[in-house]
Each structure stands twice: as C-alpha cells, then as structure tokens.
Amino acid sequence: MVRYQQGDFAAATALIDRISPRLHRFFLAKSISRADADDLLQETWLRIHKVRHTYRPGEPALPWFYAIARHIRVDHYRKSIRAATGERELEEMSKGVSSAPHQASELEALLAPLSDAQREVIAMLKVEGMSLEEVARATSSSVGSVKQKVHRAYKKLRETIGVTGPRKWRSGGLA
C-alpha cells in the first residue's frame, strides 16, 4: 500500500488482484446481486484511489479497505432507499393523474423544471408503466442512460419539492 501511495501502479495492480476477491465476497455476503457487487467493487477501488493519501503507513491496510467498502455499501443502500421512495411517490401521483384529468396540470407543473428528456423518461416509466429496457429501446439509448436521466430527474424533483414546501397526499392525488 505504501508503494501504491508513492505512485507505483504495479503495486496497485497487485493490491487489486489480491484484495478484490475478498471485497467482492464482502458485497455478495449482504445479499446484493452479482451486478451490484461488481459495481460496488469498482466504486470502492475508485474511492481507494482517490483517498489513498489518507492511508497511514505502518497501519494494517485490510481494515482500511474494508472501512471504505463498508461506506460504499451503506451509501448504495441509502441511495436505493431514496430511489424507491421517490418512485413510490411518483407512482402514487401517476395513479391519481389517470383517474383525475384536472390533476394532469399539477403533474405538468411538477415536472416543468425537468429537461424534455427527463420528462419523457419519467412519463414512460411512471405514467405509461414501461420497463427500463422498453424505455431504452423507445429512446434509442442504453438502460444505463435511462437510469441516469431518471436519477437526475428524481434529484431535481426532490430539490423542487423541497423549495416549494412539502405537499400532502390524499387518496386520489395531491391536496
């Protein structure tokens, strides 16, 4: 690890080869899908590379690696909870819009700060009920690109709702 800190990227390669299987098992042990474990492993190595200067020579490196991996896993869990909550709120809103035409203007007003591309993917996913793959095909883009647009749209919506104040939900739509 000290050699890696000093810029020896052969040492970095050796660390990655030696530690990656352990970290991958660490992510899989928490019942994360293989694809998510792969992504979290990659994100962990990116973070390790970014903060390698914080490692204290002479200290055991393995606990330092696991601490970073644990933080990555917790961040992933929190993001997934926030995304699920945002999706449920949009699903509730879309149900209300289909049953009450006057609420369509409220939905349009809520989605107004979004770019055209973001509004389009939100409408396809939440109003039309299409899958990520279907939206990707319909927009001639990748699933990853659709996920990114949706993530950014949710973020913008959270910011907008936070600025305008919380809205109260009733059965059937916004109050």
pLDDT tens per residue, range 98-152? 555 555 667 777 788 888 888 888 878 887 787 888 888 877 889 999 999 999 9
Residue 84 has pLDDT above 60, yes or no: yes
- Among 10-24, 96-110, 144-158, the range scoring the smallest mean pLDDT is 96-110
Structure tokens at 77: 């869990």
Please state, in angstroms and rounded to a whole number, the distance separating the CA atoms of residues 45 and 47: 5
* pTM (2 d.p.): 0.49
24 pLDDT band (50/70/90 cuts)?
Answer: very high
User: Could you read off the pLDDT of 52-77 as tens digits, one per residue?
Assistant: 999 999 888 888 899 999 999 888 88
Helix (H, G, I), strand (E, B) or coil at 44: helix
* Alpha carbon distances (Å) from 29 to 22, 23, 32, 44: 10, 10, 7, 16
Q: For residues 86 and 110, is the Cβ–Cβ distance under 8 A?
A: no
Residue 27 has pLDDT above 80, yes or no: yes
Please state, in angstroms and rounded to a whole number, the distance separating the CA atoms of residues 99 and 113: 24
Domains assigned to the chain: 2-78 (1.10.1740.10), 101-174 (1.10.10.10)
Q: Which residues contact 102 (CB under 8 A, 6 or more apart)?
A: none
